[in-house]
Amino acid sequence: MIQDHTHGRFDAIAVVDFGGQYAHLIATKVRRQHVRADILQPEDPIERFAGYKGVILSGSPALSSHDEDSAYQKGIYALDVPILGLCFGHQEMAKHYGGEVIHGGREWGHANLHIMREHPLFEGLDEVEQVWMSHFDSVSALGPDFEELAYSELGEGEGEHRYAAIGSDKLKRYGFQFHAEVDDTRHGEQMLRNYVINICGCEPSWTMERFVEEQLVAIREQVGERSVFLLASGGVDSTVAAKLFAQALPPDRLMLLHVDNGLMRKNESEKVLALLRAQGLGENLHFIDATDDFLNALGDEVEPEAKRKSIGETFIAVFDQEARRLGAENHLLGQGTIYPDTIESGGTKRAHTIKTHHNRIPLVEEMIAAGRVVEPLAELYKVEVRELGETLGLPRTGLWRHPFPGPGLGVRLLCSEGKEAPDVDAIQTQAAPIALKHNLTATVMPVRSVGVKADVRSYERPVMLSGALPFKELLEASGELLKQVEGLNRCVWNVGSKEAPTLRPKRATMTRERLNILREADAAVMHTLRMNDLYDSIWQCPIVLVPVAVDAQEQELCVVRPVLSERAMTAVAAELPETVLMELRETVLAIKGIGALGLDLTSKPPGTIEWE
């Protein structure tokens, strides 16, 4: 992105990145209003903020407004432009202007926002709006120049945690405890638009076509007279990146490599190669089957972060080997990295590592520092990548495929040492009465899954619910469990069975046999979704094989994870018709090695979309 905002043709908003999971999403949502947005760091000199028409303060996983004087550029509060604080930014603003922040009143997931009066920030909205919360600290009192603009249900009446939105029209300072930038705040984009257009007075004139122009220039400037070697998985991100590189560089200076890592879907590599060739990208397209390299590297590893790093390091080893073989060892590494890959890997100064993406392992970071990596999509989210692909002329069928993670089935085939989990009984004791209140039986699993709570990684237990309830009531029970029971970050429904299963820990590693079982289950679920016209309405549907024995044959639990999302930073569980669930159960349980089917009910947060 061009950084000379003060001399450009566009109004601009500065987004101060305190390291929250959603900092760049704020910038993305501003750009969707056709207004330029730049990411600034909290310690940037105050001169860096000159020329912006507004400043937004992001959330933060690493800082607390409650028990420390957070170190950042406080001179921004003297700027004569409107400032909007979100989550941590909201708390910091309240504190700076004489308010109080306490450690308590935690909320995550959906909440109802009660708007107390008409205000330009809430123009066009209802009196009660659905918003998305993810916080441990809360504003408990306001300074003299501020008023309460809205409260969440947690703080109705005179409760101490009532300040969900605050503002001072005199100072042009505003704060939202909730995340207006995420898609699960139903009209959050309208709220940000109201701030950017109504409060800051920005002229909407920023476009994706302009982004393409800038990126073509940026690629040519970074690459210079060198060439690019792109790892092309065939997914949306790498395909759009390949198309962008192909427009920026002559054909003889772009080489593509597709690696079958043995962790692909059924017949995936054949489809990928056909897709890339159909897009005119086959001239310098190369292929290698490196299944043995990846499985040997993974060995008996069971820990999610270690698995991800092993997969990422093997990708680079294979890349280097093939680069030498093809005479491309001096080429720059091209990657279709998008922003969630970076932020979830802890790739900004204050971001907490949720999970290390294969394109953000230390080896790749060293290559980036040495100027050997080109990533033209690194500030975009999936929806923006798709918009970019449409601008570049790619067909919708390729752009709207379900996202598939770079480590592939490596993060969907869970592994375990098979040891007993001593904390399960204590968590079970907490969960059981809550489930029973909903006429359900809770069974805490002797495995862990990755989650995210208040922008911080969690590695905690999933719980399975057994019993017959409508989907909405299952979600209510799931939400209650995940909010009230410590040590849980994921909730699964036992599809088609009222009886609670016995889930025994099972030693299981990354083997060809288990991968083939998962491949068959994935293919069966995708076929069922397509046959029932559900594939396009679901954003993503990971299929997970969980290393717990559910019967005497040591067959495992398979979990279906259909979600609705737009940028992967938040997600909600998608409802599937009962007839489809029963069809899935019959089809999946017919696969040898699978003895039970679960439906993941978890939103993000507190559970990530992938289980690892």
Each residue's pLDDT tens digit, 284-313: 999 999 999 999 999 999 999 999 999 989
Is the confidence at residue 159, as pLDDT, over 50? no
Per-residue pLDDT tens digits for 74-120 = 999 999 999 999 999 999 999 999 998 887 666 767 888 999 999 99
Pair 466, 494: CB distance under 8 Å = yes
| pLDDT the model gives residue 205 | 86
57 — pLDDT class (breaks 50, 70, 90): very high
Residues 180 and 28: their CA atoms lie apart, in Å, by 12
CB 414 within 8 A of CB 544: yes
pLDDT number for residue 134? 75
Burial class (CB in 10 A: 0-12, 13-18, 19+), 160: middle
CB atoms within 10 A of CB 126: 11
Nearest to 425 by CA among 497, 487, 493: 487
Of 172, 97, 92, 171, the C-alpha closest to 135 is 92
Whole-number average pLDDT of the chain: 89
Active site annotation includes 352: no
Active-site annotation holder among 181, 268, 301, 556:
181
- Check pLDDT > 80 for residue 19: no
Poorest-confidence range of 103-107, 247-251, 497-501? 103-107
Return all residues near 493 (Cβ < 8 A) that are at least 6 apart.
Answer: 464, 465, 466, 474, 478, 598, 599, 601
Annotated active-site residue in 179, 258, 331, 357: 179
Question: In the chain, pLDDT over 70 holds for what percent of residues?
Answer: 90
Q: What is the pLDDT of residues 543-595, one digit of tens each?
A: 999 999 999 999 999 999 999 987 777 899 999 999 999 999 999 999 999 99
Range 600-608 average pLDDT: 95
- The predicted structure's pLDDT at residue 176: 95
Q: How confident is the model at residue 153 (pLDDT cuts 50, 70, 90)?
A: confident
Catalytic residue, from 5, 34, 87, 357: name it. 87
Residue-wise pLDDT for 363-395, tens only, equals: 767 888 888 899 999 878 788 899 999 999 888
- Tell me whether residue 200 is one of the annotated catalytic residues: no
379 has catalytic annotation:
no
Report field, pTM of the whole predicted structure over 0.75: no
Q: In degrees rounded to 5, what are phi and psi of residue 562?
A: -75, 130
In the chain, the domains with their CATH numbers are 5-199 (3.40.50.880), 208-409 (3.40.50.620), 416-600 (3.30.300.10)
The answer to whether 29 touches 178, Cβ cutoff 8 Å, is no
